[in-house]
Amino acid sequence: MSNSLRVAIAGLGTVGAGTIEALTRHRDLIARRGGRAVDIVAVSAKNRSKDRGISLDGFDWYDDPVSMAREADVDVVLELIGGEDGPAKAVCEAAIESGSHVVTANKALLAMRGNALAAAAESAGVSLSYEAAIAGGIPIVKALREGLAGNAITHVYGILNGTCNYILTEMRENRLSYETVLADAQKLGYAEAEPSVDVDGIDAAHKLALLSSLAYGTKVNFTGVYTEGIRKVALEDIDYAEEFGFRIKLLGSARMTENGLEQRVYPCMVSQSASIAHVEGAYNAVVARGDFVDDTMYQGRGAGAGPTASAVVADIIDLARGSSMPTFGMPAGQLADAPVSPIERHRGAYYIRLMVKDQPGVIAEVTAVFRDEAVSIETMLQRARSQTQAVPVVLTTHECEEAAMRRTLDRIEALDSVVEQPTMIRIETLT
């Protein structure tokens, strides 16, 4: 085998094609930075004849990516297929068994199968690298695994899905409904035709599960991530958030608490003074808080051919240098089984929007429920009479436990004077 780092690529979609372009365009630069050349030896995809805007001349073609991972004479296999099982998982397993390093952009696979794959890679003496799986081109894996390794991480949170951030930004800036902006995002390619993985928070939850493992030395636990999406965020909630001095963001947040590992993905209100409140459009941002460095913030494009290929190539250069790290920052056998902190134990302030009948005594009924459940109201707004004879009542609370807040809302929804299901959005202080 030559001194060059020999690479096989499984999957030639947007990211695969972008990676070939980056490796080709910057071949000399990459060789200087990595200490040796990087050569693409073999590729595999569903359609050999598809025009991808790149040349595949000189690469061995494999119809079956798993066969390529087993048979190609390479040092590194790039898994850029996607999906938590199927060919993606099989490619990674075959590459590891064959003694090849693996580089992947597949957050779903790692969120669901990462523990087993990390252990297998460690046993085989190869690396499993995935900078591209979290927040596109933002080097957050390297930051947590290396740059902040001397810190105890007390909180890691961020905007982890560009589609949701784009939708919430457009709703606020152009005063458009969720449905209208989603349709526009689909036309522009920011959202899939079936958008649930993005808008229901699943994509962000995959990424948060990986960040949590890196930050706290725990086994990846995707099922322990409490997840809500943005479908129920209405334009009026965005307007009220502005009035109260907040902005609504879909945040992923993880911290170790006395109740266990708290992993949350949900839309929340953050102060307009917070830096992350000003991360707009399709951008991602991650904040890692360490006990020696305080807050460090990483911002950039979270998806697309360029940013994702940039992260893939960064992992390849590390391998060319001979740099290898445990997948999740420490040996797989040392990763802890952290108890899950249930959402009912969450403590914080809340924004509540009610639609109530415009009649005497309604406010007294509502506030009596808050009093009975020992949830303290901080502010309350009641708007003028409407033609529908139902009016919005909007309030924020002081900090309380989520279990008490949920009991309060269940009782309020049962009142005859309340005509719609209450809207609840958590308020995050981020301090």
| Calpha distance 292→141 (Å, rounded) | 19
- What pLDDT shows up at residue 390? 87
CATH number of the domain to which 37 belongs: 3.40.50.720
Q: Are residues 185 and 292 in the same domain?
A: yes
Do 18 and 80 share a structural domain? Answer: yes
Can you tell me the mean pLDDT for 68-79? 98
Read off the CATH number of the domain in which 410 is found: 3.30.70.260
Which pLDDT band holds residue 1 (cuts at 50, 70, 90)?
Answer: very low
Query: Is residue 327 included in any domain, yes or no?
Result: no
Whether the per-residue pLDDT at 384 is higher than 80: the answer is no
Whether residues 168 and 30 fall in one domain: no
Check whether residue 282 and residue 162 sit in a common domain. Answer: yes
Asked if residue 324 belongs to a domain, the reply is no
Asked if residue 71 has pLDDT above 70, the reply is yes
Residue 371 falls inside a structural domain: yes
For position 155, which CATH number holds? 3.30.360.10
CA–CA separation, 389 and 376 (whole Å): 28
The model carries a pTM of 0.95
Q: Is residue 322 part of a domain?
A: no
Q: Distance between alpha carbon 63 and the CA centroid of its chain, in Å?
A: 32
* 53 conformational bin, left if phi > 0, alpha if psi -120 to 50, beta if neither: left
- pLDDT score of 410: 97
Q: How confident is the model over 190-195, as a mean pLDDT?
A: 90
Question: For residue 25, what pLDDT is reported?
Answer: 96
State the maximum Cα–Cα separation within the chain, in Å, rounded to a whole number: 84
Dihedrals φ, ψ of 264, to 5°? Answer: -135, 140
Dump pLDDT digits (tens) for 304-360.
899 999 999 999 999 999 998 999 999 999 999 999 999 999 999 999 999 999 888
Tell me what the mean pLDDT of segment 207-212 comes to: 98
Q: Contact, 356 vs 390, CB < 8 A? A: yes
Q: Are 320 and 35 in contact (CB under 8 A)?
A: yes
Q: Which of 73, 98, 133 delimits the end of a domain?
A: 133
- Specify whether the CB–CB gap between 393 and 356 falls below 8 A: yes
Query: In this structure, are 95 and 179 located in the same domain?
Result: no
User: Is there a single domain that holds both residue 146 and residue 289?
Assistant: yes
Give the model's confidence band at 382: pLDDT under 50 very low, under 70 low, under 90 confident, else very high: confident
Q: Which residues are known to be catalytic?
A: 207
Tell me what pLDDT residue 130 has: 98
Domain boundary among 105, 133, 161: 133
pLDDT tens per residue, range 154-180: 999 999 999 999 999 999 999 999 999
Amino acid at 12: L
Measured between alpha carbons, how far is residue 179 from residues 59, 70, 195, 200, 270 in Å? 44, 46, 12, 14, 23
Inter-helix orientation angle 162-174/235-243, to 10°: 70
Which residues on neighbouring strands pair with residue 253, listed in sequence order? 157, 264
